[in-house]
Amino acid sequence: MIATGFLGEVPYEVQLLTEAHIPQLEVLQQEVVEALPDKAILQPLDEGELRNILQGNGLMIGVFAEGSLMAFRALLKPGMDEEHLGLDVGLTTYAQLQQVLYQEISNVHPQFRGYGLQRTMADIIMQQVDTNEFSVICATVMPFNIASLKDKFSQGMHVAALKYKYGGKLRYVFAKFLNEEIRNFASETELSMADTEGQQKLLKEGYIGISMRQNESEWFVKYVK
């Protein structure tokens, strides 16, 4: 057990997960997907992907309440390939790429939404990262997946790229450099989340996206340099 707390009046505890938890993880993922109005938003991890992480290629924590797994969050140590997110955020050497972890899937049972579990789990799992071994956290998020985008920005992650990944799917590539000092920025601007080319141009010019806001029905991303 690495943390405890309450969901309303229901106590919970957080544990590092093992391969023994795979059946519970598969059940929870299915319950989460079935509750989604747009099931394309979430791509569950299959048994092989879960096992890969739990065999030492990452970290996974689970929130247990009322005797059952109610939420989990995962970090993955990626393999080396041309899709490596470290390449998208400016890393160039093999040694640098070896220090990257991906923020993988995060699921919360519909019964326990609204308690901030996504952010709580993010804080807890980041405390488990060995910063002597890993220095960069990366993630991809689909534009207009508002909940996931808010999750990444709330952790201090920034948009480092906007490009087509995974066979042609448009994705923001987020990064968080764990040992980086706070920077001061001389320039800032906002662009509509729908303006893909404009955002890509800013990113190529060295801007990074640090937050977003809604104005009526339109979402804007704040870029700084």
How many C-beta neighbours within 10 Å does residue 167 have? 6
**3-class secondary-structure state, position 174:** strand
Is residue 139 domain-shared with residue 217, that is, in the same domain? no
What is the distance between the terminal CA atoms of the chain, rounded to a whole angstrom?
41
Q: In this model, does residue 62 exceed pLDDT 70?
A: yes
CATH number assigned to the domain comprising residue 58: 3.40.630.30
- Minimum mean pLDDT among 29-38, 107-116, 166-175: which range? 29-38
Residues 168 and 189 in one domain: no
142 and 193 in a single domain? The answer is no
pLDDT score of 213 more than 90: yes
Residue 171: closest CA among 181, 162, 160: 162
Distance (Å) of CA 51 to CA 33, 58, 85, 147, 187:
20, 10, 21, 27, 44
* Same domain as 159, residue 221: no
Same domain, 159 and 198: no
Q: 134-184, pLDDT tens digit by residue?
A: 999 999 999 999 988 999 999 999 999 999 998 899 999 999 999 877 778
Residues 200 and 164 in one domain: no
73 and 134 fall within a common domain: yes
Confidence at residue 41, expressed as pLDDT on a 0 to 100 scale: 67
Does residue 42 surpass a pLDDT of 80? no
Average pLDDT, the chain: 93
Q: Label residue 48 by pLDDT band (50, 70, 90).
A: very high
**Interval 68-89 mean pLDDT:** 95
- The amino acid sitting at 213 is R
- pLDDT beyond 90 at 105: no
Q: Does residue 122 share a domain with residue 22? A: yes
Q: What is the pLDDT of residue 147?
A: 87
Question: In whole angstroms, what is the distance from residue 104 CA to residue 35 CA?
Answer: 20
187 in the same domain as 173: no
Asked whether residue 39 carries a pLDDT value surpassing 70, the answer given is no
Same domain, residue pair 175 and 187: no
Number of separate domains in the chain: 2
What is the extent of the structural domain holding 203? 183-225
Is 3's pLDDT higher than 70? yes
Q: Are residues 126 and 209 in the same domain?
A: no
